[in-house]
Amino acid sequence: MLKIPQVTLVAMSGIGHKSEANIMALERSSQNIEFGSVKYIQLGEIKDIDSWNKAIIYELPKYVETSHALLIHADGYVVNSVLWRKEWLQYDWASSPWPLPTDNYSYRSESGKIQRVGNSVGLRSKKLMDLMASIPEKEFWAIKEKYGNANEDGFICCHNREWLESKGIKFMPFEEALNFGKEAPLPENENLMTFLFHKYV
């Protein structure tokens, strides 16, 4: 049995929303791993995708007491526990790679630099979560107004990427993310087994 006491395995949803699928994802993810804690958080305030994204930024940190959290979804969880690497705990953010953007604004940080690692299902440190929760909510809603969405992974890994890095936050490099997770088929991850997935295997 793999033991990762530094990590809280967590899923979050509205009350009763995909409960069975979220519980299955938690069970599947912890099948061969003993985490520091396993939590399924259901909040009445989560009514839609926007309120879920907001809750991940501003509410999730309140439930995490370990150095890291592994956030999973009903459609994204651990599938190959044997691929875990303890070195991943050096990062404040570890997740699946993003594809190259097909427009002139997606997957870009404040300065316009393309970011290749940022999918929501993955590892995030308590330090990162606490920093993000310190951002005024009006900034979260300003991103929603500007882009039509405020996906929490983009809010973290694009819109606040360079600010977080100035605070010492470390993001997993693209080359390592290829082995960590898979969200989309890429030329670089063809036939690769990964620790976890989101939507695509």
178: left (phi over 0), alpha (psi -120 to 50) or beta: alpha
Cα–Cα–Cα angle for 81, 85, 89, rounded to 5 degrees: 115
Burial of 190 (0-12, 13-18, 19+ CB in 10 A): exposed
Q: What is the pLDDT of residues 47-63, one digit of tens each?
A: 999 999 999 999 999 99
- pTM tops 0.85, yes or no: yes
Domain with 43 in it: 2-197
What CATH number corresponds to the domain at position 126? 3.90.550
Residue 116 in tokens: 């290749």
Q: What is the pLDDT of residues 129-183, one digit of tens each?
A: 999 999 999 999 999 999 898 999 999 999 999 999 999 999 999 999 999 999 9
Q: What percent of the chain has pLDDT over 90?
A: 96
